[in-house]
């Protein structure tokens, strides 16, 4: 008997898997190596969006995707969708394309005294009744300076103001995780979403380091919202 997965075009297999729920796609990958290749591919999931949230159509500043195991909504705001101080001043910051980024451009800090990144997300865009972790995605270039042993402050606000935390990014400590895609991430905080219709506010993010010395060389890809994984 002919194995149809060996004769069907890969694009058609991707189309089939993309029409399954993330959980069902994971199940098919357990019994067929060809479906596993499709289920593990970002190409299969990158364009998924929900019709009742038209703002999820990516414009180069945002990326919406589904967690493959749970089917929960994930969201990433790219650097160009954030407020980065001096972000529009070429003297202080460059916007550059790099192959390992999921966005057309990332922000590279060139020469500033004040480092600050802020952003927010409408909570209704996420899955309801779900615990979320928020991550700052970054890396350092070869010309980095000013972050060594100098902690960066992070805060995450949903409703009441939460106390900030301070983390040294260079050299990266145990709070910083190296990702498979070449970037690093630091967990900023977590929050819980309420029932649909009961949580129409914003979750707000801020990162800053304002000590009076020159800083450069940090590349900012964005902020990622992912459902908390139960270990």
Would 19 be classed as within a structural domain? Answer: yes
Residues 39 and 132 both lie in one domain: no
CA nearest 61: which of 117, 104, 115, 116? Answer: 104
Would 137 be classed as within a structural domain? Answer: yes
Would 139 be classed as within a structural domain? Answer: yes
pLDDT of residue 52: 34
pLDDT of residue 222: 96
Would 53 be classed as within a structural domain? Answer: no
Q: Helix, strand, or coil here: 56?
A: helix
β-pair partners for 218: 140
Cβ-contact 152, 117 below 8 angstroms: no
pLDDT of residue 113: 84
pLDDT of residue 183: 95
Integer angstrom CA distances of residue 102 from 78, 144, 160, 165, 181: 8, 22, 32, 27, 10
pLDDT of residue 37: 64
CATH of residue 222:
2.60.120.260
Would 127 be classed as within a structural domain? Answer: yes
What is the domain range of residue 41?
4-45
pLDDT of residue 229: 81
**Which parts of the chain have pLDDT scores under 70?**
1-60, 86-91, 160-161, 196-199, 231
Residues 112 and 186 both lie in one domain: yes
Would 52 be classed as within a structural domain? Answer: no
Q: What is the pTM of this model?
A: 0.76
How many structural domains are present in the chain?
Answer: 2
CA nearest 110: which of 223, 222, 221, 214? Answer: 214
pLDDT of residue 49: 39
β-pair partners for 133: 190, 226
pLDDT of residue 31: 63
Residues 126 and 171 both lie in one domain: yes
Rounded to an integer, what distance in angstroms lies between the CA atom of residue 126 and that of residue 227? 9
């Amino acid at each position: 008997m002919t194995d149809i997965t060996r004769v069907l075009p890969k694009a058609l297999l991707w189309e089939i898997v993309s029409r399954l729920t993330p959980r069902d796609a994971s199940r098919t990958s357990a019994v067929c190596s060809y479906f596993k290749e499709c289920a593990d591919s970002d190409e299969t999931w990158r364009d998924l969006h929900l019709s009742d949230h038209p703002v999820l159509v990516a414009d180069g500043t945002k990326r919406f995707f589904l967690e493959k195991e749970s089917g929960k909504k994930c969201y990433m705001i790219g650097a160009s969708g954030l407020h980065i101080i001096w972000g529009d001043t070429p003297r202080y910051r460059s916007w550059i394309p790099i192959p390992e980024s999921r966005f057309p451009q990332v922000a590279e800090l060139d020469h500033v005294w004040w480092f600050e990144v802020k952003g927010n997300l409408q909570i209704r865009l996420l899955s309801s009744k779900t615990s979320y972790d928020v991550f700052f995605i970054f890396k350092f270039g070869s010309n980095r300076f000013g972050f060594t042993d100098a902690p960066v402050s992070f805060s995450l606000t949903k409703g009441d103001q939460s106390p900030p935390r301070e983390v040294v990014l260079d050299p990266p400590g145990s709070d910083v995780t190296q990702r498979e895609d070449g970037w690093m991430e630091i967990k900023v905080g977590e929050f819980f979403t309420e029932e649909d219709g009961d949580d129409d506010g914003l979750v707000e993010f801020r990162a800053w380091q304002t000590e009076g010395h020159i800083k450069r060389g940090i590349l900012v890809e964005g902020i990622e919202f992912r459902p908390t994984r139960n270990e």
